[in-house]
Amino acid sequence: MSKSYYDPADLRKFGEITEWSEELGKKFFDYYGKVFEEGALSAREKSLIALAVSHVVKCPYCIDAYTKDGLQRGITKEEMMEAVHAGAAIESGATLVHGVQMMNKYKKLSM
Amino acid sequence: MSLKSLKAREDDLSSPQRQLELLSEGIFEEGELPTFKDKIAESGHFPLKPKKLEILQLNLGYMCNQVCSHCHVDAGPDRKEVMTKETMQQCLEVIKNTGAHTLDLTGGAPEMNPNFRWFVEEASKAGIKDFIARSNLTIILANKKYHDLPDFFKKHNVHVVSSLPFYKREKTDKQRGNGVFDKSIKALQLLNEVGYAQPGSDLKLDLVYNPSGAFLPTNQAAMENDFKKALKEDFNIDFNSLFAITNLPISRFLEYLIASENYEDYMYSLVDAYNPAAVENVMCTNTISISWDGWLYDCDFNQMLDLKVNSKVKHISEYNEDLLNDRNIIISQHCYGCTAGAGSSCQGSTI
């Protein structure tokens, strides 16, 4: 048993989750594969979205996977960093928009 | 990036034997990953046998004006191995009688062989259907004596296949050396000017893309679109096809993988991406590779690992196509590089 919560080598074992729940695991990976196929959005665009979301959900496995995926697709480091900022802007915006709630409550409680 | 070859640095990895040991130790020895032999046996492809011979690939020498960090040949200005005129003459005899439809000249920089032009003139008389020269592009601008290469290639209807790792300067220069991108662009423009890859012209110019790091190439067609769009918009360059080639874990690319601690992950990536359909068309089944000193190999990679063909016939001086076609192809773990994803060969994807 590893003494750290995250081991980079565990990403290779992701598929093993199917062993303990074959039906759900299979449905998930079929769905996952389908999502990232070329569609109305290109596979390249989806890779950048996945990279941004990986940062927002702070998944180290996903960041490794979609940085590599981006490199393979010829996505530049400037594009990758802009995607990360897009994710970060939404995440910080989601925090800051709660400021309105704070302001509302402040006003309500104040004379 | 080192400016010297592994050989000139007397690095351990300049020894083919040491490379083969590394490729069989660790994750493969401990059974963490299957050996290539076991993997292809699963789909009934062992022993790997040749199909019809289509391509004769001649390595005219390991001398090169560049020292690329991924080079599987360990080529560079300090490599003095070049094919002699005598060996070229033996090759010409074979070319006149071969059943292969493609002649593929590689190196090093094949143009640096002092008898390159004589050989191209002679070989072009043999009526080979597709006559390829693999050019690193910068050689055209490296010295005045090479400036007329585009016209020379045109005169002999040579199909030019050129390396350009990426359509942006940074990645290209990182892999191939500072200034390589600008020179490559200029050389491509010169080839276009004499008619290469122009509408209505038979002169073919293909580019080779190979990843600048420890990752695999993606879809060749998508990459070709990106390259075509960027090179046309930014530099008004045209080319015919893009070949996406996977870097094989040998020589200087192996050195890079080990030094950057990417070796195991890279081998996992190759094995995970193993595609039995790619084994069907792997290039060693339709190619014979001939070294600067006339030895015969299943491919250019086996040449660099000094794995000579498993046949009674091992040298150009005793070449016999029927005997050679009856051989078993020699394999090791580096072969996973040609069977990953959509497959990889000197002609790009194989499926």
pLDDT in tens, B28-37: 999 999 999 9
Identify residue B340 by its one-letter amino acid code.
A
Q: pLDDT digit string (tens) for B168-199?
A: 888 778 878 888 899 999 999 999 999 999 99
Are A72 and B222 a contacting pair at CB < 8 A?
no
Q: In this structure, what token pair is assigned to residue B62?
A: 């390991």
CA distance A57 to chain B (A): 24
Domain containing residue B123: CATH number: 3.20.20
Q: Does some domain include residue B5?
A: no
CA distance A34 to chain B (A): 17
pLDDT at B23 over 90: yes
User: What are the domain boundaries of chain A?
Assistant: 43-109
Q: pLDDT digit string (tens) for B55-90?
A: 999 999 999 999 999 999 999 999 999 999 999 999
pLDDT at A18 over 80: yes
pLDDT at B1 over 60: no
Interatomic CA distance for residues B94 and A24, integer angstroms: 60
Are A71 and B211 a contacting pair at CB < 8 A?
yes
Residues from B contacting A (CB-CB < 8 Å) are 166, 168, 211, 213, 215-218, 222-223, 226, 268, 272
Is residue B121 classed as helix, strand or coil in its secondary structure?
helix
Interatomic CA distance for residues B211 and B220, integer angstroms: 12
pLDDT at B342 over 60: yes
Q: pLDDT digit string (tens) for B298-309?
A: 999 999 999 999
Q: Does some domain include residue B2?
A: no
User: What is the pLDDT at residue B87?
Assistant: 97
User: What is the pLDDT at residue B136?
Assistant: 95
pLDDT at A107 over 70: yes
User: What is the pLDDT at residue B174?
Assistant: 80
Q: Does some domain include residue B345?
A: no
Q: Chain B interface, mutation test: which of A36, A46, A66, A68, most B Cβ atoms within 10 Å?
A: A68
pLDDT at B270 over 90: yes
- What's the structural domain count of chain B? 1
Q: Does some domain include residue B26?
A: yes
Query: Please, are residues B138 and B220 in contact by the beta-carbon 8 Å criterion?
Result: no
Identify residue B207 by its one-letter amino acid code.
L
Interatomic CA distance for residues A42 and B339, integer angstroms: 26
Interatomic CA distance for residues B140 and B124, integer angstroms: 20
| Residue linked to tokens 């070329």 | A38
pLDDT at B227 over 90: yes
- B199 burial class (0-12, 13-18, 19+ CB within 10 angstroms)? exposed
Q: pLDDT digit string (tens) for A25-41?
A: 999 999 999 999 999 99
Domain spanning A43-109, CATH class: mainly alpha
Q: Does some domain include residue B3?
A: no
pLDDT at B208 over 90: yes
pLDDT above 70: percentage of residues in chain B: 99
pLDDT band at A1 (very low <50, low <70, confident <90, very high): low
Query: Whole-number mean pLDDT of chain B?
Result: 95
CA distance B215 to chain A (A): 6
- When CB atoms are compared, the residue of A71, A74, A76 closest to B223 is A74
Q: pLDDT digit string (tens) for B230-267?
A: 999 999 999 999 999 999 999 999 999 999 999 999 99
CB atoms within 10 A of CB B32: 12
pLDDT at B2 over 70: no
Region B135-150: what's the mean pLDDT? Answer: 95
Q: Does some domain include residue B172?
A: yes
User: What is the pLDDT at residue B295?
Assistant: 98
